[in-house]
Structure 1
């Protein structure tokens, strides 16, 4: 039986992870759950899976939860609580599904505690990829990708010689506004942006999909996960989201991973690798799909993807600044403080002012993140 802790248990990836667990109760045991402020859903999860440790966002929420769970369940809160659930249980694998850079400390703590990582928090590698990958090697643990695109690349590379690799291509749905012109984007609303055509995701990642920041973060994540230079990482617009990503080899052969858009498939594969189990996902019928479409990625139409590539190639704290500026800008857009196109304006202005540190330590990354957020909040 595999023992798990789930960080971000009430979010989109967290709930689907627990759905996978519930389909195979004889194989999984939940040791810890960490959530934010959705106490109602968290309590249902606690009563179903009976974790030993639980964490929520604040002390007040922790007191509220404590009165409604078994005395044997330990309750924590805040960043310390997140770290406790990540590193302080008997779990052998930690699924990191929290949103944003808040996942960095808990992921590092889990690695230091010898836990394997199921990675759905791409910001961890974006903000501190060199530190995370060094810790993974030093502790001898595995980091398996949960994002559908990176899971696809991971599956396509199974059994292949890395020397034979020519490049990888991450596919992108294009998000809510993939067919709109720059002029049409001037008047889009929050409600418009949250209507993703293919995937059911949280608000932040749905906005990131519309700006193509999400794909930019995935490009940086792929660089660290697979040890590839950015020149070997490509992005292709694929509206149907059937081909999740593909790999090209030096002999021009291409291997792709296909399936209906359902995050439970890559989640389950990360938890059961190298085995493949029956899945609740709908089987893909290419005859029903009929046609698949592809378009070259337009970096002028999606400038945030261009900025992500530039920051990735620059390295250092540039990727930290890119991520922090975006998190603040997206929050301001969701609060209706700025327009949709001002998200990219804020990111670009922050990066123009950024003084890059080429080989940052954790304290440098934290300071960069903090100062970037202060700047992005004022622009």
Structure 2
């Protein structure tokens, strides 16, 4: 009985996505962790396989697996299983809602849902502090900075791959199709995040995440391209020391660290020094205009309303692009117009309910702008 009490109970929210399935891979290798519940969207076959392999009894979905106990929502599941760790890997605004709920029922959030801090960072941090919940980042860049962090930081640097557009001549970028954009040069990820890597909206999210996680001003957060994705993060200390976190691009490593912190229990291949690629290059404004538009917005005003609009519009625009309704260039148009519309209203966010309402409003605007682009 004594040994059983040391088992960490884990719930994976978004279990059939890229981060979810890699979390399953990690837990299969680790001792002392038991997946007690999952949530998933439409991939019943993948969910069934996970539940059979890991002997999971509980799940949340609007689809039937055929065995186990199904709950209608995340709160019901978490109340039932009382997990030690919740892996938040639901993309989009649904992931924000799931994270807010999970904070009420667990001791640690392994956070892969970028949108939670982008759209509701102050509220997420406040609830975590009140409930004594650890937030451990799963993003490779934030995991890197988290591992390097100490109080004497001058600035940090997070890296970007540049996505599928990094070597495409500028004049051809606007004509790229979903099949072109989804060919990520270094990472294996889901559809939206792969597109967001090519617009670098993903990296804009990560700048905001770093600001929220590490309480750093935006002028202390730098972004550079590292083509191999070998460097994940760099911390510059006030005494002149530079600490670099590097390694092969494998999301299982930061996932494992978020689960086992402060220990390292996961085993992976260690790169040879000859594989190191430490070359950093500047991000081109002409190639990634939406990224720089967002940075300019952050310098002008860092309020939640436009950040919520950024996520809502990007989520809808990327889905429209992937389904062939709008062009790659139209993503930028939809996002900018939605942000400008929300920004003009001077919305003040004072509660998590305000976050939800502003998301709904931004989505209605984004949907309208998308329909206009389709009709052109």
Instruction: Mark yes or no: TM-score above 0.5.
Output: yes
Alpha-carbon shift at residue 351 of structure 1 (Å): 1.3
Q: Give the distance between the partners of 1:134 and 1:299, measured in 2 at CA.
A: 35
Q: Give the distance between the partners of 1:85 and 1:127, measured in 2 at CA.
A: 24
* 1:101 has 2:93 as partner: yes
Q: 2:135 aligns with which of 143, 151, 172?
A: 143
Contact 2:309 2:338 in 1 (8 A): yes
Alpha-carbon shift at residue 14 of structure 1 (Å): 0.4
Alpha-carbon shift at residue 226 of structure 1 (Å): 0.8
Alpha-carbon shift at residue 284 of structure 1 (Å): 1.0
**Alignment match, 1:241:** 229
Contact 1:173 1:238 in 2 (8 A): yes
**Alignment match, 1:89:** 81
**Alignment match, 1:206:** 194
Alignment root-mean-square deviation, CA: 1.5
**Alignment match, 2:336:** 348
**Alignment match, 1:224:** 212
Q: Give the distance between the partners of 1:114 and 1:6, measured in 2 at CA.
A: 12
Contact 2:26 2:266 in 1 (8 A): no
Contact 2:128 2:135 in 1 (8 A): yes
Contact 1:311 1:322 in 2 (8 A): no
Contact 1:87 1:115 in 2 (8 A): no
Q: Give the distance between the partners of 2:90 and 2:125, measured in 1 at CA.
A: 19
Name the TM-score, length of structure 2 as normaliser. 0.92
Alpha-carbon shift at residue 87 of structure 1 (Å): 4.8
Gaps of 5+ in 1: none
Q: 1:299 aligns with which of 271, 282, 285?
A: 285
Q: Give the distance between the partners of 1:332 and 1:184, measured in 2 at CA.
A: 20
Per mean C-alpha deviation after superposition, the further-off stretch among 81-90 and 97-106 is 81-90
Closer/same/farther in 2, CA of residues 86 and 304 from structure 1, 3 Å limit: farther
* 1:14 has 2:20 as partner: yes
**Alignment match, 1:371:** 361
Alpha-carbon shift at residue 352 of structure 1 (Å): 1.5
Q: Give the distance between the partners of 1:142 and 1:345, measured in 2 at CA.
A: 38
**Alignment match, 1:334:** 322
Contact 1:324 1:372 in 2 (8 A): yes
**Alignment match, 1:155:** 147
**Alignment match, 1:75:** 70
Q: 2:352 aligns with which of 356, 362, 376?
A: 362
**Alignment match, 1:260:** 248
Q: Describe the superposition over 1:205-243 as per-residue Cα deviations: whole angstroms up to 9, x where unpaired.
A: 100111101001111111111111111111111111001
Contact 1:321 1:368 in 2 (8 A): yes
Alpha-carbon shift at residue 300 of structure 1 (Å): 3.5
Q: Describe the superposition over 1:135-154 as per-residue Cα deviations: whole angstroms up to 9, x where unpaired.
A: 01111110000010000000
3-state SS, counterpart of residue 271 of structure 2? coil
Alpha-carbon shift at residue 316 of structure 1 (Å): 2.4
Query: Number of aligned pairs?
Result: 359
Contact 1:317 1:360 in 2 (8 A): no
**Alignment match, 2:372:** none
Gaps of 5+ in 2: 1-6, 370-376
Name the TM-score, length of structure 1 as normaliser. 0.91
Contact 2:153 2:235 in 1 (8 A): yes
* 1:282 has 2:269 as partner: yes
* 1:126 has 2:118 as partner: yes
Per mean C-alpha deviation after superposition, the further-off stretch among 32-41 and 84-93 is 84-93
Q: Give the distance between the partners of 1:210 and 1:171, measured in 2 at CA.
A: 14
Q: Give the distance between the partners of 2:209 and 2:136, measured in 1 at CA.
A: 12
* 1:51 has 2:62 as partner: no
Q: Give the distance between the partners of 2:273 and 2:348, measured in 1 at CA.
A: 46
3-state SS, counterpart of residue 247 of structure 1? strand
Q: Give the distance between the partners of 1:141 and 1:364, measured in 2 at CA.
A: 23
**Alignment match, 1:116:** 108
Q: Give the distance between the partners of 2:179 and 2:284, measured in 1 at CA.
A: 24
**Alignment match, 1:250:** 238
